[in-house]
Amino acid sequence: MSEEKDCPVCEEGLPPWLATFADLMSLLMCFFVLLLSFAEMDVLKYKQVAGAMKMAFGVQRDVKATEIPKGTSVIAQQYSPGKPTEVTPLEIMREKTTDDTKVNLDFSDSNSPNEPSLMDATALAAQHAEKMAKEEAEELKKELAEAIGDGLLEIEAFNDRVLIRIREKGSFGSGKSDLKPEFAPILEQIARVLKQRDGQFIISGHTDDIPIETKQFRSNWDLSAKRAATVVHFFIQHGDIDPERMEIRAHSDNLPLVPNDSWENRAQNRRVEISVLHGNKEAITMESPATNVDFVKDK
């Protein structure tokens, strides 16, 4: 028998060919990644598949809103364009909605017959504002009773505001925007009264229908605007009223109180009105009381 030979000791580690094989696999993976990145995707088919998957898994659809959300409750933690309900797991998973094509929502709540709706609350707020305006008008009438008695001022409540109407008599000359010196004490008294109140003040100028064209005033628009600006400047300089609380408006002869068919009526239409918006930080756009006159609507 031949002598047995000892087997040589194998070296530790992976065989050398495995490194070449790993490089080959890496190159193949990069190759397929490049193929996938260069491939064109059928976007329409992808959207169809994604939509089918979305409906299959019950994903809630998104309703695009082009207007401010019209929620019916400011206390609810979640928003729903329908009636506010108690939060339940079902409500969280699938939120109930009303017809989102409706312009206005249903604010009534059949489950709470004794609880006023939002529309009722709005009506109550308007009634409260009108009541406050009437009370404030009575206070102003007492404080400015002397000027009212002389026929220089008129005070009335109109919706949520109080109107102080300055007649042309004693305040401005005919076709002029400068205040008469004897009217300054009355305007100072008005300024003291207004400074004690909150909110904004709208000073509006009005004229009659007789056209004016001078070097100073191109038309009745200039005259009405200049008279309103004169009152505002007086309030700032002599009444120490914050300019940010005042707003100027010029109406020319577009909002007459009475028909411009006589000299007495034209004198009544030449005026400056101060709207006292009690408690309002912004000027609310509303119709003038002159639009309630029947002859204006018949034009």
Residue 164 within a domain = yes
Print pLDDT tens along the chain (299 aa).
456 667 777 667 778 888 899 999 999 999 988 888 777 767 777 777 777 666 666 555 566 666 666 655 555 555 555 555 554 444 444 445 555 555 555 544 444 444 455 556 777 777 877 888 888 888 888 888 888 888 888 888 877 788 899 988 778 887 888 888 888 888 998 998 888 888 889 999 999 888 998 888 999 999 999 999 999 999 999 888 999 999 999 999 999 999 999 988 888 898 999 998 865 544 445 555 555 455 444 44
Q: Which domain holds residue 205?
A: 137-289
Residue 43 within a domain = no
Residue 184 within a domain = yes
Number of domains in the chain: 1
Residue 70 within a domain = no
* Angstrom distance (rounded) from CA 179 to CA 163: 20
> Residue 255 sits in a domain of what CATH number?
3.30.1330.60
Closest CA to 82 of 69, 67, 92, 68: 69
Closest CA to 258 of 173, 154, 161: 154
Residue 150 within a domain = yes
Residue 59 within a domain = no
Its pTM stands at 0.54
Who's near 170: CB < 8 A, 6+ residues apart?
150, 152, 180, 182, 183, 186
Distances in whole angstroms, Cα of residue 264 to Cα of each of 16, 208, 212, 261: 117, 11, 18, 9
Residue 285 within a domain = yes
Residue 241 within a domain = yes
